[in-house]
Structure 1
Amino acid sequence: MIIELPHTTTGAINKRLIDSRKEGGVITLARVMTLVIDATGADAEQAIATANVASREHPCRIIVIAPGTASEARLDAEIRVGGDAGASEVVVLRPCGDQIGHDDTLVTPLLLPDAPIVVWWPAGVPSDLGKRSLGRMAQRRITDTKGEDDPAGVLLGLAHCYRPGDTDLAWTRLTRWRALMAAALDQVKVPEVTLARLHGDTNSPSILLLGAWLRSTLGCEIEATYDDSVAALENVVLETPSGSIEISRPDGHNATIRQPGQPDHQIALPARSLEEALAEELRRLDADAVYGEVLAAFAEDTAVPL
């Protein structure tokens, strides 16, 4: 159900939320957080659809800021519940005119009491993440540098303004790759890596972050190559004194793992969807210290070509 609220106020929105909860019974009571989505410059409907899928694992109140185009200073809103809101309740705020730019004032009255706040920027990564009004009120701040024209520059900006609680979905997409590499290195006699070769999609922030992680963790050299025809990380080779460890995923779904002294074996390693990546980040509300260390390592290594 979608409830339209044109020319409204946050007080009226809150009252209508309470009424809709009474009408819907307990369906929206077990919410564990408030997820705020700054959809400025993004496809708001796609962001809502993504958050709705993630909310099935993490029931929450979703507040979406999607500025309107009218010059008149006003606030239009929608409340979505039931089948239009996954396992959550969605409030879409469409500020216009002078209402734009007062995100904290609009959002604060709608936050769930005593619940963590997570902010997600699906596009247009802010350069001053922690200084944004939404960023200051959040325990977790989630960005996505995939698709940025200059991912290296954006990552540098994130490194310079990093605060505990920041993370990026380009890093989240590497979780299973990192686990596979760590497990493979545990099985070689001399787990020393002299060279890591990475291959994947052009302008990939994930490859940049993976290179910084491997270099800072293992002290190895990095060689990265890119291909316009692939959509994600495709191949990783770790050179060790015992031989090469290779994880190859040419079809984007199944990976072949080659290790010294062992037969090749395959595992399912599908490219992670945006919904899966967001759901993973919503599972944790503590700071991702490793991500902060990798950002710092990337900033230190910018003179080294990736």
Structure 2
Amino acid sequence: MKIDLTDTTASKINNALVHGRRAIGTPTIGMVLTLVIVTDEEHAYDALKAANEASREHPSRKLVVIKRVSRSPRERAKARLDAEVRVGTSAGAGETVVLRLYGDVIDHAQSVVLPLLLPDAPVVVWWPVGSPVDPKQDPLGALGQRRVTDTYAAEDPLADLTARASRYTPGDTDLAWTRITPWRSMLAAALDQQHAPIVSAEVEGESYNPSAELLAMWLADRLGVPVERTVSDGPGLTAVRLETKNGPIVLDRPNGSLATLCMPGQPDRSVALQRRDTSELLAEELRRLDPDVIYESALKYGTDRLGAPAPEAADAPKAAEAKAAPAGADAGAKPAAPAKKAAGGGKKAAGK
């Protein structure tokens, strides 16, 4: 069911939601969170489609905020709010409100969204594109317990990673980080079977790929070894190589779907490492709303330190530390490590 409202208010939108639920015979609310999607008209369809698919795992009220920039000064002076209220099958599992803001109301989007939030439910704010450098300081971002961005959509992903590291606030996260969850899981499982010290590492992927940079920073941060970032033709991440005292551990994915895991003393194995859709990434981020301390630590390591000489050879406790931080497991920040020197050796980070 779809209800169109022109030049409306938040009160009328809430009334339309109640009317829509009653009309389809579901007067009760069974949603677990509010997902605020801040996007433009061009990307609204794809973002809402991904959110609807993710809502099958996380029933939610989805508020899509689209800021419509007026062309003439006269139109910009007129404040107006249009809305589409969707309930039932067209809204996934939950409810959807598409908000189109015009004129001065664009500068006060939070005042439109605030009355539409579900009471006593967590709020997640997601920017598919055009995310602010400091999400917590954004008026809409300040409403959320979790703020989801995507550095992959930035014009300069590496500069964006650096800026986000300096402004990180607990609750910030990035779909570029979520994309490497299977890689981190696979590498952690591989290290569980190897007890030889890690000497160095190499991460291979497309240029200007923030997921490759984050994976390299995670390895360097957790293992305390130099990590080289090399460039390939893709797609996305293509390989990780860990040099150990017993020989290399290689996870190679040349085609974006099937990878080969090579380990010393074991036969090569094929493993599924499919590139995932946005809906799967979003659903993963909505599974937990507490701060991701492993992401914070990797992000703050810094792309400029990749390839730096290690302060000391990696030892067994550090290798065990990396194994203890599989994908999505943020509990237990790493112990303090000796200060690492600024980047001076090794290959240059991609795109720099």
TM-score (norm 1): 0.95
Q: Which residue of the other structure, out of 209, 216, 222, is the alignment partner of 1:211?
A: 216
1:273 Cα deviation from its structure 2 partner: 1.2
C-alpha contact (below 8 Å) 1:42/1:123 kept by paired residues: no
Q: Distance in 1 between matches of 2:140 and 2:258?
A: 39
Q: Percent identity?
A: 47
2:186 matches 1:180:
yes
2:192 matches 1:189:
no
Query: Structure 1, residues 262-298: CA drift from partner, whole Å, max 9, x if none?
Result: 0011111101111111100001011111111111112
1:40 Cα deviation from its structure 2 partner: 3.8
Instruction: Give the 5 Å matches for 1:33-182.
Output: 33-40=33-40, 43-70=43-70, 71=75, 72-182=78-188
* Partner SS, residue 151 of structure 2: coil
C-alpha contact (below 8 Å) 1:255/1:266 kept by paired residues: yes
C-alpha contact (below 8 Å) 1:28/1:89 kept by paired residues: no
Q: Distance in 1 between matches of 2:220 and 2:270?
A: 26
Q: Distance in 1 between matches of 2:235 and 2:250?
A: 19
1:202 matched residue in structure 2: 207
* Partner SS, residue 188 of structure 1: coil
Residues 42 and 27 of structure 1: is their aligned pair in 2 closer, same or farther, counting only changes over 3 Å?
Answer: farther
C-alpha contact (below 8 Å) 2:200/2:226 kept by paired residues: yes
2:249 matched residue in structure 1: 245
1:125 Cα deviation from its structure 2 partner: 2.1
C-alpha contact (below 8 Å) 1:75/1:99 kept by paired residues: yes
Residues 174 and 28 of structure 1: is their aligned pair in 2 closer, same or farther, counting only changes over 3 Å?
Answer: farther
Query: Structure 1, residues 20-42: CA drift from partner, whole Å, max 9, x if none?
Result: 11112238721000000111476
Q: Distance in 1 between matches of 2:27 and 2:291?
A: 30
Q: Distance in 1 between matches of 2:173 and 2:42?
A: 19
Deviating runs (4+, > 3 A) in structure 1? 302-305
1:175 Cα deviation from its structure 2 partner: 0.8
Q: Distance in 1 between matches of 2:212 and 2:304?
A: 16
1:261 matched residue in structure 2: 265
2:291 matches 1:291:
no
1:231 matched residue in structure 2: 235
Q: Distance in 1 between matches of 2:176 and 2:170?
A: 17
CA RMSD of aligned residues (A): 1.6
Number of aligned residues? 304
- Gaps in structure 1 of 5+ consecutive residues: none
Q: Is 278-287 or 25-34 further displaced after alignment?
A: 25-34
Residues 14 and 27 of structure 1: is their aligned pair in 2 closer, same or farther, counting only changes over 3 Å?
Answer: closer
* Partner SS, residue 36 of structure 1: strand
Q: Distance in 2 between matches of 1:225 and 1:27?
A: 55
Query: Structure 1, residues 153-204: CA drift from partner, whole Å, max 9, x if none?
Result: 11111111111111000001111101111111121131x2222111112210
1:2 Cα deviation from its structure 2 partner: 2.2
Residues 41 and 201 of structure 1: is their aligned pair in 2 closer, same or farther, counting only changes over 3 Å?
Answer: farther
* Partner SS, residue 260 of structure 1: coil
Q: Distance in 2 between matches of 1:49 and 1:20?
A: 20
Residues 41 and 19 of structure 1: is their aligned pair in 2 closer, same or farther, counting only changes over 3 Å?
Answer: closer
Q: Distance in 2 between matches of 1:176 and 1:273?
A: 13
C-alpha contact (below 8 Å) 1:42/1:122 kept by paired residues: no
Amino acid of the structure 2 residue aligned with 1:272: R
Query: Structure 1, residues 134-160: CA drift from partner, whole Å, max 9, x if none?
Result: 221211000000132211111111111
TM-score (norm 2): 0.83
Q: Could you say which structure has the larger radius of gyration?
A: 2
C-alpha contact (below 8 Å) 2:262/2:269 kept by paired residues: yes
2:283 matched residue in structure 1: 279
1:300 Cα deviation from its structure 2 partner: 7.0
Amino acid of the structure 1 residue aligned with 2:219: L
Amino acid of the structure 1 residue aligned with 2:116: L
C-alpha contact (below 8 Å) 2:205/2:237 kept by paired residues: yes
Residues 201 and 35 of structure 1: is their aligned pair in 2 closer, same or farther, counting only changes over 3 Å?
Answer: same
